[in-house]
Structure 1
């Protein structure tokens, strides 16, 4: 049976209320301090209502993380030519816009109480996206992987700093830093260490 538009809207509102209550508790207490009863009390629903939408508190977190990473992947999966730094600006601006639109979630996930698996999965997506472009330019698989790891670690470090410490940095300035990180990560191929 198909859900009515009003039923779909109510469902979406309930999910948003649950996620919002989860976020408030998660920011304050970390995942260990989040409880189903706390979520239900904060958004004014019965436990049975919570379980209509989520299996447990981890499912709430997983659902939000999946949604954020999926949005980032949609923005970045078809990166322009990585050596043409001017064409990446729109992708960078779209990424910054997405993060700003979900700033409270990114603050929670990137904080010291955040989920390290979120960062790990995000890095893997960045590495995969960049690796494809580098391999198109005949960069070896290992070099592409390492350059991707360097760039993703630095980029997420930059996002973490901006999100936590200076969220008012202008978008174009942030994009300039992102472009500089990419340029530094791709500056020269990695050469194996020489034996002594």
Structure 2
């Protein structure tokens, strides 16, 4: 296996250092407390080095959010049959693994200091992925949208609670909650 060139490794390392410094300050002080000078001080780089990689502090945040949401989309974009719980559990386990691997970021992004746009974009992705499956089951468009919104809101609420309050909950238990949440959200809406 070929190793990436040294320059590429240095670039990746510098970006990781900047993101880690950003996270450290963001966790402590919120976005208003993050400054370019603070980031540079924490990771020991010059301002000019920061600007080689990022336009401003919001570009750091946007880059991390884009990466996290892209990884979630790759896991969930082609959901298996939503009523096949064994396949759904595999998708849920992969999602849980991703969140646990990036727990510090999810904790700050889902906290009261987090970015509401991150949650909004995540909900839209969940709704989009689930909506396709509901439409394949001939659920009308309005019901598919509403069920997707209900599921995405409840699911992100569950993830928020887990990341903030009980991060050590076993994966299989969390999957059981997620399966139950999905089943409740997808219950056919009875006409009035």
TM-score > 0.5, shorter chain as reference: yes
Partner of 2:29: 29
Structure 1 contact 107–164 (Cα < 8 Å) conserved: yes
Q: Secondary structure at the match of 1:106?
A: helix
Q: Which moved more, 1:60-69 or 1:80-89?
A: 80-89
Alignment partner of 1:157 is 2:166: no
Partner of 1:185: 185
Q: Distance in 1 between matches of 2:178 and 2:96?
A: 10
- 1:190 deviates by 5.3
Structure 1 contact 143–190 (Cα < 8 Å) conserved: no
What stretches of structure 1 of length at least 5 have no aligned partner? none
Q: Secondary structure at the match of 1:30?
A: helix
- 1:76 deviates by 0.1
Q: 1:134-190 CA distances to partner (integer Å, 9 max, x unpaired)? A: 000100111000000000000000000000000000001001000000000011225
Partner of 1:66: 66
Partner of 2:111: 111
Q: Distance in 1 between matches of 2:190 and 2:100?
A: 34
Q: Secondary structure at the match of 1:87?
A: helix
Cα separation, partners in 2 of 1:53 and 1:190, compared to 1, 3 Å? farther
Q: Distance in 2 between matches of 1:89 and 1:10?
A: 38
Superposition RMSD on alpha carbons, in Å? Answer: 0.9
TM-score (norm 1): 0.95
Structure 1 contact 75–95 (Cα < 8 Å) conserved: yes
Q: Distance in 1 between matches of 2:70 and 2:101?
A: 15
- 1:112 deviates by 0.4
Partner of 2:88: 88
TM-score (norm 2): 0.97
